[in-house]
Chain A
Amino acid sequence: MAVADIAEVRRTKALQERAENRTLTRLTIGPSPWARAGALAALAVLAGIWLVPLVWGAVTSFKHEAEAALPASLLPTMGWTLDAYQKVLGSSDLLLWMWNSLVVAVLVTVITVLISAMAAFAFSQTLFRGRAVMQWLTLAAIMMPGQILIVPLFREMQVLGLVDTFAGIVLPQVVAPVMVFILKRFFDAIPRELLDAARIDGAGSWRLFWTIVLPLSRSILVAVAIFVFIGAWNNFLWPFIVTTDPQFMTLPVGLSTVKDAYGVQYAQNMASAMIAALPLLILFMLFQRRIVQGVATTGMGGQ
């Protein structure tokens, strides 16, 4: 598609959206300009409150350390500087932890989605002895909050020799019975004629799974993947328990366990916070629609 065409499609989409939003406004609060102004003001105040910590953190990260320790002024009076960033990048393991977080989150996401989809497929499209029992067990597993297992799970990891390994961080996070049920519900809705036809053509389960079920469920898989990824990227408790070697720490664990600045270093703290916040914020800006949809769909699936 030519660039001009893409731009055209975008413009049409934007126009369409604007029209939809106008209709919504008319339907929800009506034509009164006062009501609109009131709602807009409320939105602005809320958004302001929600953005202040981020904006202030960002500004502080560009201040000189000496100024950061003075009573707060919003804008720097001693000029902007990249000092804090330079120091943080130069002396801490921030990038290493970010990399670890990425590896962990990707592994957790891929494994979780794959094994959950396979199990969901088995529950939805195949019959085997003990299927009902397994399904009940999976349902029961949803009620087991993993957080209370930290003590025995740490002991188990010691026995398995998995303390301070990626396997130790990742594997306990891939058990996601909720996701199995969310996916099963969607697999259940795949038209059975489609699957039966393929079976008559001699397709085995493996082929059904890869060539029909998965492609048809792409959007729910993406939704689940987004959800799992955000969860794994931000997970603190388990990686915190199972890593003692800073080389294997994920971002939240490293940031809160290892001191990379000595003394009181507000600007540097803010700089590391900003660097740590950046990847997901950028992802969100790029894929806002997808992420919003993914979180909403999967989150509600948790019902």
Chain B
Amino acid sequence: MIASRTRSRAESSGGLSRRDLLRAALVGAGGVALGGALAGCATPSAAGAGKTPVMIWDLFSGGDGALMQEMVGAVASANPDIAVASTTLAWGPPYYTKLAMASSGGRPPEAAVMHMSRLAGYAPGGLLEPFDLDALAELGIGEEHFAPAVWEKAQYDGQLYALPLDTHPYIVFHNPKIIQDAGLALPDGKLDLDAVAGADNFLAAGRSLAEITGETGVGWGYQRDPAGCWRMFWGLYSQNGGGYELTPGRPAELDEEAAAEVFEFLQAMVDGTVAAKNQDGNAAAARFMSERTGMMFAGEWDLPMFRDALPDVGATPFPAIFDTPANYADSHAFVLPRQGTPDPAAREATYRVLAGLLKEGLTWASAGHIPAYQPIVEEPAYQELTPQRDYAPAAEVAVFDPDAWFTGGGSDFQTRMADAMTDTLAGKAPARTAVTRMLSEMDRFLSQPNPA
């Protein structure tokens, strides 16, 4: 356990590592009590003498984290000369804060996962290093393996700063049995997207689901989940044809009418019957998994967790509540935090590990994500994954976060936007209030200099 999840900087210099000492001490001291636990988790990826340590940070605290561990394990056994380890840090602003502090502290992990939408806030500040395209090409990875739009998003200032890992849309899961009983299923048992298209249809569907479950119809946890609020809003706003204008130094512009309609819909949904009031993500997930709600808005990355509880859980793209086809999504990518003392050997090992991880994309796909590395997507094995293939069309109409240095997954911006929505979602303020508050928060961001 200790061995597989941590690394020691002493290893590269050949000394006895702190971890080895610690393990010895722990086994010695707590041997009687803990012997079993320690023995049970000593894995082959344990760093030995002469191995190059490569540490990767990620923020996969959902069910996908376990699969990332699995991929790291696979890459580790394929590269016996590298001691690969990964650590999952708490999602959101804390993760990005720690990453920035580590990079500025000079001893960051060799690689880290980042939302592509955060690149604009990181790359200009010198916290990241660009990828060497030749070195990637040697490992069989190049522009031709990625969708052009994704490759384009990974660039900053003409250089590649992010190695795209996936696209992850915000979708809707369903419990096949409950939607069947509510009459919302197609003959093949999948959710009938036409039956839930349009705000009124959707709300009616939610009520009929609630009748079946006896509690609520649709799960959406928006409390204490700024990102969830923002994903929901931005996806729906895009469906409603809303555009934006975020230019530093100028007032923010949104289609206020379109935004207000979105909030009117959300207020109608969070009525205690269609969706629970005052619910957070954990509680919503717990309800869905214990079959007390029939559908659930969530990121596709929750698939492994849901499937543990509901083996036949289904999933589809986000329902068409409004007219414009759109589905909120973001993209995970690997980045290289700037090292205080760059080590060519570690760098070379890191490239090999990252290439290996991209090629483990099939495992990543089973976590729910749509791999960015196209050769995986084209494999028949991927084409057969369910329910992944059922929501794959979401990627075709993906809308990403607005372009600005302060936006993106797990950013302070998302927190502020969610805060601005709180009163409206709780029914304490009209729909317009949320829009006004969001605009004024956006103005505040636009008036600040980009600190990076």
A263 pairs with B87, CB closer than 8 A: no
Q: Check A93 against B6 for contact (C-beta < 8 Å).
A: yes
Contact B8–A163 (Cβ < 8 Å): no
- Given A86-B37, A158-B104, A258-B88: A92 and B65 within 8 A (CB)? no
* Pairwise interchain contact A262-B98, C-beta atoms closer than 8 A: no
On whether the beta carbons of A95 and B89 are closer than 8 Å, the reply is no
On whether the beta carbons of B8 and A264 are closer than 8 Å, the reply is no
Residues of chain A lying within 8 A (CB to CB) of residue B87? 246, 258
The reply to whether A70 and B98 contact each other, CB–CB distance below 8 Å, is no
Within 8 A of B (CB), among A42-72: 66, 69-70
Among A70, A89, A99, A262, the residue within 8 A (CB) of B305 is A262
Residues B107 and A95 in contact, CB atoms below 8 Å apart = no
A68's nearest neighbour on chain B, judged by CB, is: B286
Q: How far is the CA of A69 from the CA of B88 in the complex (A)?
A: 22
- Please tell me if A10 contacts chain B, counting CB pairs below 8 Å: no
A96 and B23 alpha carbons, distance in the complex (Å): 9
Instruction: Give Cα A96–Cα B19 distance, bound, in whole angstroms.
Output: 9
Contacting A90 at CB < 8 Å: which of B6, B30, B37?
A: B37
B256 to chain A, nearest CB (A): 36
Report the minimum CB–CB distance from A156 to chain B (whole Å): 12
CB pair A246–B90 under 8 Å, yes or no, is no
Q: Main SS of the interface on chain B?
A: helix
Chain B nearest Cβ from A89, distance in angstroms: 4
Q: How far is the CA of A247 from the CA of B23 in the complex (A)?
A: 13
Contact partner, A99, options B8, B22, B285, Cβ 8 Å: B22
Distance of B26 from chain A, by nearest CB (Å): 6
A247 to B9, CA, bound (A): 10
B22's partner among A66, A69, A96, A163 (CB-CB below 8 A) is A96
Q: Does A245 belong to the interface (CB within 8 Å)? A: yes
Residues B184-202 near A (CB distance < 8 A) = none
In the bound complex, what is the Cα–Cα distance between A257 and B289 (angstroms)? 26
Please report the C-alpha to C-alpha distance between residue A93 and residue B23 in the assembled complex, in whole angstroms. 12
**B interface residues, how many (CB within 8 angstroms):** 50
Q: Are B6 and A96 in contact (CB under 8 A)?
A: yes
From B1, B66, B91, B289, A89 is in contact (CB under 8 Å) with: B1
B61 proximity list for chain A (CB < 8 A):
259, 262-263
Are B5 and A93 in contact (CB-based, < 8 A)? yes
| Given known contacts A69-B290, A89-B34, A246-B6, A258 and B90 CB-to-CB distance under 8 angstroms | yes
- The chain A residue sitting closest to B289, CB to CB, is A69
Known contacts: A96-B6, A99-B26, A164-B105. The answer to whether A259 contacts B34 by CB under 8 A is no
Partner of B62, one of A164, A247, A262: A262
A259 engages B65 (CB within 8 Å): yes
B64 near A: Cβ within 8 Å? yes
Q: Which residues of A contact B106 (CB under 8 A)?
A: 158, 161, 163
Chain B interface (Cβ < 8 Å from any Cβ of A): 1-2, 5-8, 18-19, 22, 25-26, 30, 34, 37-38, 40-41, 60-66, 87-91, 94, 98-99, 101-102, 104-109, 282, 285-286, 289-290, 302, 304-305, 308-309
Interface residues of A (CB under 8 A from B): 66, 69-70, 86, 89-93, 95-96, 99, 154, 158, 161, 163-164, 241, 244-247, 256-260, 262-264
